[in-house]
Structure 1
Amino acid sequence: MASFGIIGSKGRMGQALASAVEEAGHTLAGGVDAGELPGPLALQADVLIDFSAPAALEANLKVARVAGVPILIGTTGLDDTNFAAIKDAAKAIPVLQTGNTSLGVTLLSALVKQAAERLGDDWDIEVLEMHHRHKVDAPSGTAKLLGEAAARGRGVYLEEKMESGRHGQTGARKSGDIGFATLRGGSVAGDHSVIFAGEQERLTLSHSAENRTIFARGAVRGAEWLIGKPQGRYTMEDVLDL
């Protein structure tokens, strides 16, 4: 049994995490939200789970580093500055950062990478995602995670091949691009599909989240795994040994 601290505890994910921690037989050290200092919480917890906001990430990493406690980051919408802070913190503590904590999505990512490796460059890759109307970032962190998996399979950098701004007279599709399409509406917890479109055939790999509870359970599973690990940067793929 371990003690979990939740950063972003009053949000929808934070509440789901509290239930998942209890369901897994662990204890809740407490939670903090915007305007509250996570320092005391870090000293009481065996592991921190952060589903807050990109603007708070650097401060949260510093607190975890000072306390010497591992941290799982599920916050999405991160930029290059955030990733640099994660890389720096991982020199001192174990850090698991992911765009999606679902175990199903983690396996889907591995399958996408494998498909991109095995299928030829003449197969076009498109990532389609839909979320609830309240989501503020696009494409979703999960969509980017899947796009990065496809890019790794192709041996390219997603930043150089990503196409997410189609509108108007765009011209023909560029060979090798990895396209993204974003849908928002209703209360959708998260639907993702990666479409491999070849000549006269199509392969679609998909995942549908019916409730955010799956993300909370996956986060708890990842945080459990992170406790006791040496300093370094980890992913959900490491948790499932993929």
Structure 2
Amino acid sequence: MSAADGAPTRVLIHGASGRMGQALLRLASEHPGLAIVGAVTGRTPAQRVVGNVPYFGAKELAAVPAFDVAIDFSLPEGFSPMLEVCLARGKPLVSGTTGLHESQRQAMQQAAQRIPVLWASNFSLGVAVLEDLVQRASALLSQWECDIVESHHIHKKDAPSGTALTLGQAAEHGGAQPRYASLRAGDIVGEHLVQFTGMGERVELVHRATNRDIFARGALHAARRLASRAPGLYRVKDLLD
């Protein structure tokens, strides 16, 4: 399922006109092992080739060139067609599309029996490490109080954040019962504090994002590694090495 030895991994960007799609296209050059072979936008593009990358509209998805892995940051209505193309071609899918319906999540789980699939609410490699640390700490400190405090910019609507809930699930897997608090202020990109408190002592695990490019870099990192994996449902932390 991966590119031939020595050849770059061919990547298709789905949702290329969005903020994440634009970041992926801009930062892909930092990864010499990757080659962007196509970009898909919601509407038929006015310009067919930009920076040597061919562009396609969402209705032209079946016509995209051969790829080794697709990265999808689109809308719920665009997710299912992209998943279907990956299944038809037997290629992996990395997705950060939010707002998926339960039926789409079930379809993703079924697809993972045939192709590698990674869906994540946060593609920061640092957050992936934090998730692992939280689960380990909660297993060792399961009798301590666990609080998760997340801070984001004033325009973020959902609270707690998806990342906070993911960290909470990690804490629960370790045996803790997390509580949540949310702060919306200024232009904070994203901060997550997981605090374990016992009598007379406290452990704090913190991740602070200062630039949104970390999410695109994490998705590119994951895509390159997912291209060579067996079918299954993966998390970002499964692809750190």
Shorter-chain TM band: 0.7 to 0.9
Equivalent AA in structure 2 for residue 33 of structure 1: T
Which residue number corresponds to residue 194 of structure 1? 194
User: What do the CA deviations read for 1:161-195 (whole angstroms, capped 9, x no partner)?
Assistant: xxxxxxxxxxxxxxx64222222343322111111
- Please, which of 114, 139, 142 is the counterpart of residue 120 of structure 1? 142
Find the aligned partners of 1:54 and 1:137 in 2 and give their Cα distance: 17
Deviations 1:73-117 (A, max 9, x none): 122344533321210111111101222111111111110001100
Matches within 5 A, 1:131-142: 131-142=152-163
Q: Give the direction of change, closer, same or farther, for the CA distance of 1:79–1:177 in structure 2 (3 Å limit).
A: farther
- Aligned pair in 2 of structure 1 residues 184, 145: CA closer, same or farther (>3 Å)? same
Unpaired runs of 5+ in structure 1? 155-175
Give structure 2 stretches of 5+ with no counterpart.
Answer: 1-7, 44-57
Shift of 1:136: 4.4
How far 1:223 moved relative to its partner?
A: 0.3
TM norm structure 1: 0.82
Structure 2 CA distance, aligned partners of 1:141 and 1:94? 22
State how far apart, in whole Å, the 2-side matches of 1:140 and 1:77 are: 13
Contact 1:21/1:220, CA 8 A, preserved across alignment? yes
Report the more deviating stretch, 26-35 or 206-215: 26-35
- AA partner of residue 174 (structure 2): G
Cα RMSD between the aligned structures?
A: 1.9
Identity of aligned residues (%): 42
Q: What is the rounded CA distance, in whole Å, between the counterparts of 1:146 and 1:116 in structure 2? A: 11
Q: Which runs of 4+ in 1 moved over 4 A?
A: none
The equivalent residue for 2:237 is: 237
Provide the rounded CA distance (Å) in 2 between the counterparts of 1:112 and 1:78: 26
Number of residue pairs the alignment of both structures matches = 218
State the match for 1:9 in structure 2. 16
Distance 1:81 1:191 in 2: 31
Q: What is the alpha-carbon distance in structure 1 between the residues aligned to residue 154 and residue 82 of structure 2?
A: 28
The structure-2 alpha-carbon separation of the partners of 1:194 and 1:68, relative to structure 1 and needing over 3 Å to count, comes to: same
Q: Structure 1 residues 145 and 138, CA, compared in 2 at 3 Å: closer, same or farther?
A: same
Whether the aligned pair in 2 keeps the contact of 1:4 and 1:29 (CA below 8 Å) is yes
| CA shift in 2, pair 1:120/1:145, >3 Å | closer
1:76 aligns to what SS in structure 2? coil
Question: For the residues of structure 1 that align with 2:145 and 2:102, how far apart are their CA atoms?
Answer: 27
Q: Residue in 1 aligned with 2:112?
A: 90
The aligned residue for residue 63 of structure 2 is 40
| TM-score computed with the length of structure 2 as normaliser | 0.82
| Structure ranking higher on relative contact order (CA contacts 8 Å, 6+ apart) | 1
